[in-house]
Amino acid sequence: MTLDVSLEPAAPLLARLAGLRERTAALVEHRSAGDPTATDPLRGLYLSEEAVRYLLSPAPAPAELPSLDEDFPDRLAELGARLRLTHLDTAILLIALAPDLDRTFEPLYGYLNDDVGRRRATTGLALDLYGVPAHLAVARARFHPTAPLTALGLLTVEEPERPFLSRSLRVPDRVLSHLIGDDTPSANLTATLREASADGWPHGGSPTDSPPADGSAPDRMPADGPAHGGLSHADPPHGGLSYEDAGADGDFVRRLAGRIAAGPLFAYLRERQEGEGQGCAALALRLAGVGAWRCSVTGEELVPELLREARLSGRALVVEAGGDPAPLVRALGTAAGDVTVLVTAARPYDPQWCDHRDPLVLEVPSRRATALDAWTAALPAGPGFDLAATVAPYHLGGDRLARAARAAQDLAAFDGTPLAAAHVRLAARQQSASGLEQHARRIRPAVDWRDLVLPERPLTELRELASRARHRDRVLGDWRLSAGGGRGRGVLGLFAGESGTGKTLSAEVVAAELGLDLYVVQLSSVVDKYVGETEKNLERIFSEADRTDAVLLFDEADAVFGKRSEVKDAHDRYANLESAYLLQRLEAFNGIALLTTNLRANIDEAFTRRLDLVIDFPFPDEEQRLALWRHGLAHVPSTGDTELRPLARDFELAGGSIRSAVVTAAYLAAARAEPVTAADLLEGARREYRKAGRLVPGAW
């Protein structure tokens, strides 16, 4: 099969090269006319007497060469217009890339360079072929490191140790690939760069609505209104909410889109929740009609390649700054004057990061108000469960919400069942995985309210705690009942009661009710003997918990949240400093934290005042103990003569001890390969009394 070259994207560029070949041939003919070494196969490798006399003779008059300024409808012309390159710049690019597309240029360039081994264009050869004197300052300046060709990463001037006119020119492979129609990013960026998408926003468009494959950007929306056939802020793309319906979110996106449409913008978007800035930027770019690349970067090493990719494709960059944003922001601020770059990060912007040009610093509004609409748009219409109650505990941002929605549908398909709340919760938890496991033990809740045997009052308060966690954004945010002063929207609860009364189990049930994971803080990873280290460890935990949808449990919280004491020595002073830090950090906390203690009086009153709920777990009475025995034996095979009332009456055990007694009885029965008997349960209860150092009741 014969390939029709005329249909190739490189065809116009090859036609342009034909004109360059004609010009090169004319220059070769002019040079060789009076050159006595023109036919010498070793020309350029040595100097004969004739060659020396020829070089010392007056230079021949410049030749009349065919023009290189003819306009061609190719990517080189488009790139030159987009980056505002001069005709000389585009000609230099063409001359430099010619040997990479047509091997016949190599020997011609070798002859014109007076060195058969130098088969690439040089600065002097480029000026000769264009027809400008080599001593012209404005022409030589086109090769300067700050000139557009080199500063934008389109051309590399090699061999700086050589005289200026004999320095080789090279066009990077990625630039050449773009000019012949290949839009694949360079290998260094394939793992980092991806299409920016507004998925996860209620009016973000479909995943398939991406910028044109040829790298061109869609029509932009002018600053004073939408482009012809574009979108207005009152007409949501792809049928979502209108931007007015989105409230502050929509107004922010609309204003950002107008600023992007007005020209290149360098902005720093500070996000409160991970992913909010990415989604907001993607939506604004889509509304402005500007294609974009999205990437996650932790340093400035890839900045030149990222900016070059954006320039070649005519797209903007949405950069998620990881780690310390300072080097990245500084590098982008120095080099990104002609490209729209939106940097998203959680850290506040510091003016010290940039030497001259500060970005436009914006606070991204929380999109919690529209999160339900985003879930509704991402999931099939009409789910058979209460979607609002299911997704209320989650604060996924950016494409993580869309990924969670897709994962939930995949889980439902795997189970062969309709989409259920459990699928959504599991998928959302997977997207909320965090670094908390470095400091806390992760528990995947496998219990529910049926596993709690408690009086009515603590049960009611536990349900209220779950309700507060679910509706805190509406009450504290939409209804503006936050106390202000930088206070967060966290939910804080204290569980107080004797050991074994169900405090930790209740925390697990609350987490299960909310569809979240429970992280039990390991005090050994928090408390440190060195001054200030405990606070640092706690800050890491709180910061990670702020950005993670999870329930944080401080078991045996007395060790960290104990009462402050009178300062008598340095130890008291530093202990009080830890408490003061915790008081401040709890007020700014945005997550869900639960504290347990065996003795409520040990907790500082200042902590108690900042808690939303203090739930007392009483020691179970006889009826509750009977219910606990029955619950513990619900799945255990036992003989029909097992009477539990005497055990509940005679042995005053808490729920944790009753469970241990049942476990002991089960092991005794399993060793005999028989069901659990009343004697086994009696032995288990007696062992719990002995462990506690209590007098064992007599046989009955």
Segment 155-206, tens digit of pLDDT? 999 999 999 999 999 999 999 999 999 988 988 888 888 887 655 444 433 3
One-character DSSP codes across 414-474: HHTS---HHHHHHHHHHHT--GGGGTEEEE-----GGG----HHHHHHHHHHHHHHHHHII
Percent of residues, the chain, with pLDDT higher than 90: 46
For residue 34, what pLDDT band results from cuts at 50, 70 and 90?
low
**Is there a contact between 187 and 168 (Cβ–Cβ < 8 Å)?**
no
Do 185 and 283 meet the contact criterion of CB atoms below 8 Å apart?
no
pLDDT for residue 689 is more than 70: yes
- Is a pLDDT exceeding 50 seen at residue 364? yes
- CA nearest neighbour of 302 among 328, 325, 329, 337: 328
Place of tokens 């029709």: 4
Which residue, chain included where needed, has tokens 């897709």?
A: 406
At residue 593's C-alpha, the angle toward residues 398 and 562, to 5°, is 145
- Residue type at 266 in one-letter notation: F
The whole-number pLDDT of residue 3 equals 46
Return the structure tokens found at 233: 């802020």
Tens-digit pLDDT profile for residues 445-473: 999 999 999 999 999 999 999 999 998 88
Split at pLDDT 50, 70, 90, the class of 309 is very high
Q: Starting at the edge strand that comes first in sequence, how are the strands of the sheet with 592-597 ordered?
A: 440-443, 517-521, 550-554, 592-597, 491-497, 613-617
Per-residue pLDDT, 434: 66
pLDDT at site 465: 95
Residues 104, 102: Cα–Cα separation, whole Å = 5
Helices 11-32, 123-130: axis angle to 10 degrees equals 90
Low-confidence winner among 153-162, 360-369, 559-568 (lowest mean pLDDT): 559-568
Question: Where does the pLDDT of residue 214 fall: very low under 50, low under 70, confident under 90, or very high at 90 and above?
Answer: very low
Higher pLDDT, 72 or 499: 499
Using an 8 Å Cβ cutoff, are 551 and 511 in contact? yes
Q: What is the pLDDT of residue 279?
A: 82
Q: What pLDDT does 451 receive?
A: 93
Whether 286 and 219 have beta carbons less than 8 Å apart is answered as no
Residue owning tokens 């510091």: 350
CA gap 651, 632 in Å, rounded: 15
- pLDDT of res. 39: 62
What is the per-residue DSSP string for 171-194? --HHHHHHHTT--PPPGGGTTT-E
Predicted pLDDT at 275: 76
Distance CA 637, CA 560 (A): 43
Residue with more model confidence, 214 or 401: 401
3-state DSSP assignment of residue 234:
coil
Whole-number Cα distances in Å, 679 to 189, 365, 667, 684? 70, 64, 13, 9
- Stretch 283-303: mean pLDDT: 90
Is residue 678 pLDDT above 70, yes or no?
A: yes
- The conformation of residue 217, written as its DSSP 8-state character, comes to P
313: left (phi over 0), alpha (psi -120 to 50) or beta: alpha
Q: What is the per-residue pLDDT for 668?
A: 96
- 78-106 average pLDDT score: 93
Coil, strand or helix: which one is 33?
Answer: coil
pLDDT tens for 377-410 read: 888 877 888 898 899 888 886 678 888 999 999 9
Say what the pLDDT of residue 569 is: 53
Would you state the structure tokens that stand for residue 628, as one six-digit string? 């606990």
Instruction: Tell the residue number behind the tokens 């509004």, with chain if given.
Output: 365
Q: Residues 6 or more apart from 600 whose CB is under 8 A from it?
A: 494, 496, 614, 616
Q: Identify the band that residue 356 occupies on the pLDDT scale cut at 50, 70 and 90.
A: confident
Distance in angstroms (rounded) separating the CA atoms of residues 581 and 341: 37
pLDDT band of residue 333 (cuts 50, 70, 90) is confident
The per-residue pLDDT for 197 is: 63
Q: What pLDDT is stored for residue 238 in this prediction?
A: 35
Is the pLDDT at 566 greater than 60, yes or no? no
More confident residue, 518 or 216: 518
Please report the pLDDT score of residue 565 as a whole number: 56
pLDDT confidence of residue 209: 40
Q: Which of 54-63, 162-171, 498-507 shows the lowest per-residue confidence on average (mean pLDDT)? A: 54-63
The chain-wide mean pLDDT, for the chain, equals 82
Indicate the burial class of 413 (C-beta count within 10 angstroms; 0-12, 13-18, 19 or more).
Answer: exposed
pLDDT at 480: 80
87 contacts: CB under 8 Å, gap ≥ 6: 68, 69
**Confidence bin at 59 (pLDDT 50/70/90):** low
